[in-house]
Amino acid sequence: MSKRILSGLGLLLGAGLSAGSALALEPGDPQRGQAAAVTCTACHQANGSGMNIPGGESWPRLAGQDAGYIAKQLHDFKSGRRQNASMMPFASMLNDQQIADVAAYYSQMDVTPASGGEEASDKLLARGEQLANRGDWDDYIVSCSSCHGPGGTGVGSDFPGVASQHAGYISAQLHAWKDGERSNDPQNLMGAIAKRMSDDDIAAVSAWYANQAPGEEGGE
């Protein structure tokens, strides 16, 4: 048998193995995901609502988030592309199928109310609404809705829903992007925007989104 034929057979075999590996990953199954997510409930709660912890590490709402977004974040924690001492050990416990299942499980839950914006002043909330819906072109800050969608409900697997997300979590992530501690978003869009935001801007938009139910557009 010629070397050329052997080489061709090798390529075909490799392609077959790759296809078999891809086919082995089934679509996420919420029932399996519920079983795999049993350890997640300690922080993210049984209903996926998470928890706002003033002065501490707030745990995000996962309920109702896009499955593709949740899966990407788990893979990023697992690979080390996104750093978090609390999440990395748990993400590392999940295989690819379990990640797909857990993501499907949380995505089919109803969105829950958020906390952290209840005591914000009218002035702070007005600034938050401006940044969320219109941005501030004097400071080259693009509106949040440009990527996260009208009402902050999220767009696909790249831009999560931020309406009804805990203020403490939104604030922590914006500061992480601003300080260069997080960079796993498309084209570093969030890093570029967060660096132009003041601490007051971050507090404002975090509080405003925490007060929004999904689908609300703040009068826009």
- Residues comprising the binding site for heme c? 40, 43-44, 87, 144, 147-148, 190
Which residues, listed in sequence order, are joined to residue 59 by a DSSP beta bridge? 51
Helix then strand count (H, E) for the chain reads: 11, 0
Report how far residue 133's alpha carbon sits from residue 164's, in angstroms, rounded to the nearest whole number.
15
Backbone phi, psi, residue 51, to 5°: -160, 135
Q: Sign of the C-alpha dihedral, residues 145, 148, 151, 156?
A: positive
Q: How many CB atoms lie within 10 A of CB 119?
A: 8
Annotated binding site: 40, 43-44, 87, 144, 147-148, 190
DSSP-assigned letters across all residues of 9-35: HHHHHHHHHHHHHHHHSPPP-HHHHHH
Which residues, listed in sequence order, are joined to residue 155 by a DSSP beta bridge? 159
